Homo-oligomer: A and B are copies of this chain.
Amino acid sequence: MSNMSSMEKADLLKLVGKRIKEIRESKGLAQLDVAVRMEGNIDTTNISRIESGRTNPTVYTLFRISQALEVPMSDLFNIEYSNSMQDEV
């Protein structure tokens, strides 16, 4: 997710979704496990839609997912500007 400057909506959603799935699987969790851990009502339908990039989730939904996965929200964006600055225009 380094050169985000020219990214389109569909690409962003796919990347975020893939990242969420990656984290979830690395923790050995099923979508249902995440749903159960999330605050408020949710079912796996929405998690599936988010992971496949078919929906444009709100920040609160992403927040609840990051809570359930026990990672900071920044992890969902997999941002590592380790060596450079962002988009020096």
Which residues on B sit within 8 Å (CB–CB) of A72? Answer: 4, 77, 79, 81, 86
* Chain A interface extent, by class: 20 to 34
Residues of chain A touching chain B, judged by Cβ–Cβ distance below 8 Å, are 4-5, 7, 9, 12-13, 16, 56-60, 62-63, 66-67, 70-74, 77, 79, 81, 86-87, 89
A67 & B9 in contact (Cβ 8 Å cutoff): no
Contact residues of A: prevailing secondary structure = helix
**Cα(A81)–Cα(B73), bound, Å:** 11
Given A79-B72, A89-B70, the answer on whether A57 and B59 have CB atoms closer than 8 Å is yes
A87 & B63 in contact (Cβ 8 Å cutoff): no
Which residues on B sit within 8 Å (CB–CB) of A73? Answer: 4, 74, 77, 79
